[in-house]
Amino acid sequence: MKFYKTIILALLAVAFSGGVYYYTIVEAAKKKDAESHIVYLQKDQINYLELQNKNTKYVFQKTDKGWNIEEPITDVADNQRLEEVLNQLTNEKQLAVAKEGPGINWGEFGLDTPEAFMIIKNNLGQSQKVFLSVTKNFEGNHYARIDNHEKILVVNPSWFNFTMEKLTYFREKSLYRGQISAIRKVMIKSLNDHFSLVSGEKGWYSPVFEHYALDQSKIRAMIKAIAENTIQEYISEGDPSDLERKEKGLAKDYVEVAFETDNNRWSVAVNLSEKDKALYALTEKPTYLVKLDLSQWELFGNLNLDALRDRKTMMTFDIKLVNRVFVKSGNKSLQLIKEDSKWRPESEALAEKIKVANSLVEDLVNQIHDLEITYFLPENEGKEFGGKDMVILKTSEDQLLFQLNWGPLQHKKQDGLEKDYYLARTQASDSIFGLNKSYIDQLPLEKILKDQVAAVEPAPEKASKK
């Protein structure tokens, strides 16, 4: 019994010693680490940030919807950017202590009249001020003072650099400020087209060409690309003068995009300035003149309804159901049927004379299945289409699955390049469209109709038994 009491006392002693070690060593280390942080306020509680230098003053306030700019203008802040800045500031530690204690010569470190400072506040009413000197040490780091502490810290240059950033660095960068999901109507006037789109129960459609099948994913991608276009620089607030509009190419012949929601309308005019070869945009509600990345002119200038049309629906069929194939090219044609997983001419007479390579027919069906429309002809063109070359696909019950007719060739400039295209049509629609010439040229038509069609040598007669 005495032995067990000794063991228990020993364990208690070890636990006590561990506790003493934890509170004296570990807690001391935690306290030292906390004191090395420049910002002592908790990041999640910070709701106010002020940056000042001798020329500018920026004030940011956080609400339940995110960060806003309060000074020098009232606007939406780049929420992600502000969070990144605060994350860096609250995790940053002092690099060193340059001097500490009473009697510091603040002027020696540029902190008698600091070049810049930050004010950080939280939702508990606590506040912290960080003074920043333009003076650097030999390693290129800046000097700082927290509140009225008798201590000079050495800090990373990013602290000073944040106070010197242009306001654009902290402003919302997305061209469109609203919720993309709330957009109900889109109106576009580009260099090549003028059209509108409406969001209905079955998705986006064109009010003028309701019979057009539109690619919903392409429409969503287009709206997102326009709305989230990154502002490179804010030029001015409010309506610019007529002279400035003219200089920026926004007086006439500009591209215009408008988004409508249930409650409001937003629009933007975009054009390339011949004067400085830059891309400018003028938004309405709110009204800003901004500069965009020059590469985005390709997006805005080439907006057109044809690019949003569905390229696959009228080319779709169930490849597993294909059991009959009719091929016609020029003055040659052949009707094929699939039996026991092998293709042969449907005519019994032809089946005795010629062979057809299975792989060629399978390749033909697969390539037809993967075809995608290159462009659509305008409604007033292609009325007299007479494509006589064709591929017809049917089921084993002789039901039509798919029919593609093509020809003649059309020489056309598409996406900035001049190429040859075949005019074509399927049984799914009266719409005439263009297919890249290479798409048809790659089909194994000639091989099926000629190169791989060979007469079958008659089987040798067996010798009769006598």
Give the DSSP letter string of 149-161.
Answer: -SEEEEE-THHHH
Query: Which pLDDT tens digit goes with each residue over 224-253?
Result: 999 999 999 999 888 899 999 999 999 999
Residue 322 resides in a domain = yes
Together in a domain, 24 and 72: no
Domain boundary among 262, 288, 308: 308
Query: Which pLDDT tens digit goes with each residue over 413-431?
Result: 766 678 899 999 999 888 8
Position 458 pLDDT exceeds 50: no
Name the CA dihedral angle for 418, 419, 422, 424, rounded to a multiple of 10 degrees.
-50
| Amino acid 217: pLDDT | 96
What is the Cβ-side half-sphere exposure of residue 124, based on CA atoms within 13 angstroms?
Answer: 9
Together in a domain, 199 and 135: no
| Amino acid 377: pLDDT | 87
Residue 464 resides in a domain = no
Q: Tell me, what CATH number does 264's domain have? A: 2.60.40
| Amino acid 455: pLDDT | 43
135 in Cβ contact with 152 (< 8 Å): no
Work out the average pLDDT over 155-178: 94
Position 274 pLDDT exceeds 60: yes
One-letter amino acid at 117 equals: F
CA distance 136 to 145: 14
Position 169 pLDDT exceeds 70: yes
Band of pLDDT at residue 107, cut at 50, 70 and 90 = very high
| Amino acid 275: pLDDT | 87
Together in a domain, 154 and 254: no
Give the phi and the psi of residue 8 in degrees, each rounded to 5: -60, -45
Together in a domain, 99 and 55: yes
Residue 138 resides in a domain = yes
Residue 462 resides in a domain = no
Query: Which pLDDT tens digit goes with each residue over 423-454?
Result: 999 998 888 999 999 999 999 999 888 754 44
If you average pLDDT over every residue of the chain, what do you get?
88
Work out the average pLDDT over 69-86: 94
Domain boundary among 149, 169, 189: 169
CA distance 329 to 310: 27
Together in a domain, 317 and 445: yes
**Range 10-16 contact pairs with CB under 8 angstroms and sequence separation of 24 or more:** none
Domain boundary among 271, 291, 308: 308
Together in a domain, 20 and 48: no
Together in a domain, 26 and 50: no
Residue 65 resides in a domain = yes
Band of pLDDT at residue 2, cut at 50, 70 and 90 = low
Position 380 pLDDT exceeds 90: no
Position 296 pLDDT exceeds 60: yes
CA distance 377 to 383: 10
258 in Cβ contact with 186 (< 8 Å): yes
Together in a domain, 293 and 327: no
227 in Cβ contact with 270 (< 8 Å): no
Residue 100 vs residue 466, higher pLDDT: 100
Together in a domain, 184 and 62: no
Together in a domain, 317 and 197: no
Q: What's the total number of domains in the chain?
A: 4
Global confidence as pTM: 0.75
Residue 459 resides in a domain = no
CA distance 269 to 257: 7
- The domain of 345 spans 313-451
Position 356 pLDDT exceeds 80: yes
Give the phi and the psi of residue 118 in degrees, each rounded to 5: -125, 145
Together in a domain, 162 and 207: no
Residue 463 resides in a domain = no
Together in a domain, 30 and 62: no
| Amino acid 389: pLDDT | 94
- For residue 378, whether the previous peptide bond is cis, meaning omega lies within 30 degrees of 0, is no
DSSP 380: T
